[in-house]
Amino acid sequence: MQQHLKDQLVELRQCLEALPTDIPVPRAMESKYKFSDFSPDAEWAADIGEAGAVNRELEIRFGNRVDGLKLIERGPETEAVVDVLETWIKKCPGDIILEKWVDDILKAAQGVILAAGQALPSANGAKPSKKKKSKTVEPDVSVMHLYTDAERVPAKGKGGAKVDPLMDLLSVNTYLKSDPKKMIVRCAGAAYGCATTWAAPRWKTRVFGHALQCGKLDKIDSTLRDCVRTAMSKESLGGRVEGQSLPVPSVECEPVDVTPTSSMVSLRGTPSALLKQKSIYPSQRKARIAALKDQLDFDVLKLICIGGIPPTKVDSKEWKTMWKHGNPD
């Protein structure tokens, strides 16, 4: 386990022990957390792996983290989560989801302590010498000497791809000095030691995915990664469903074919040559189908995640047959 994680776990234990006294301490049998008796579900471990099963169990006990993790208990059953995380991070080294839990619970505990007007506990358990050693593992030393950045080309006219200001803050078109003819894309955190690069042209999914994990970007702007999370949430399935209304016409209107009368016939044409007004029904129906598909996909996602259904069930023959019968077209 990396030293910074060990230090975080020490700090987390201290913060959980220092939670305000107005938070209840339930009896062990009544505790919602009950981390002294923790084990991932065997079926889920077989379906999605041990780390995934541990993550699912943590989500069940702590609840939804969309608006931030909220601690509703304190005491031994809550503090035991530190031992759980330490055990499973050692068993699943490098798992970013489990490591994220350490960070999320620590921030939640610190937030509660500060909101109560208390001072955060000092990290007596973390040795200063080890903290200095951890800094040498990921030094904030610039790697800009490796690159020659390309000039920014302003957008011309209204055509072409739209400029994404957030992408410009996260990444830069550049050239390696060792290969000055080939354009690549570097992380904006290169000035603080991030050596991550991508092939040009840049791909938003990769840049955003890296940005979520790149602590070097915090040196530029501490809100950058929060902006990335917000942008990604808007492009997610749930974001698309929330941002679009499902058009349900009050009356199903079929296209109407109006036969021209003699007064509508011009001298230069015949009734069959006259232009007929196109119906908006086909395009409306297409938009409604697309919106309905997103809504159904989102409903299935919630059913699997919240209802506790192993994701592998969607690959079963029975699942596919059900949807084939439900949507024969």
Buried b (16+ CB within 10 A) or exposed e, 201-239: ebeeeebbebbeebebbebeeeebbebbeebbeeeeeeb
The 10s digit of each residue's pLDDT in 55-67 is 888 888 887 666 6
In degrees rounded to 5, what are phi and psi of residue 147? Answer: -120, 160
251 band by pLDDT with thresholds 50, 70 and 90: very low
pLDDT at 4 over 90: no
Check pLDDT > 60 for residue 275.
no
In angstroms, the CA 131 to CA 37 distance is 32
| pLDDT above 60 for 257 | no
| Confidence band, pLDDT 50/70/90 cuts, at residue 329 | low
Q: Identify the band that residue 184 occupies on the pLDDT scale cut at 50, 70 and 90.
A: very high
Q: Is the pLDDT reported for residue 132 higher than 50?
A: no
Name the CA dihedral angle for 259, 264, 266, 270, rounded to a multiple of 10 degrees: 10
| 161 band by pLDDT with thresholds 50, 70 and 90 | low
Give yes or no for residue 47 having a pLDDT over 80.
Answer: no
Would you say residue 174 has pLDDT above 90? Answer: yes
146 within 8 A of 176, measured Cβ to Cβ = yes
Query: Average of pLDDT values for 9-33?
Result: 89
Find tokens 């092939």 and name the residue.
199
pTM of the model: 0.43
In tens, the pLDDT along 59-105 reads: 888 876 666 788 888 899 989 999 999 998 888 888 888 888 888 88
Give the Cβ contact number of residue 8 at 10 Å: 20
